[in-house]
Amino acid sequence: MADIVLATLLSMPVMIGQYDLSKKFPKLQRFYGAVIKQSAYAKIEAKLMAFFMTDEAQAVMEKEKKFR
């Protein structure tokens, strides 16, 4: 369960900010890659993706792009 929680938290900067974990944290990238392949994570990812498609999430992502 802890692995899925951590992967969910990592998915935010990866999906929203297009953050490349492999540059600074290659071991963390391998961990994240392994967890997101698990079937239990698929349900969570579906909910995350549904949220990312909302107007609220899109506005947050646009704000993030302005600060880069």
How far is 43 from 40, CA to CA, in rounded Å?
6
Count of structural domains, the chain: 1
The 10s digit of each residue's pLDDT in 21-62 is: 888 999 999 999 999 999 888 888 888 888 878 998 888 878
What pTM did the predictor assign? 0.65
Closest CA to 49 of 26, 22, 16, 23: 16
Is pLDDT at 67 greater than 70 in this prediction?
Answer: no
Q: Are 52 and 18 in contact (CB under 8 A)?
A: no
Domain with 57 in it: 2-66
Written as six digits, the tokens of 7 are 């992967």
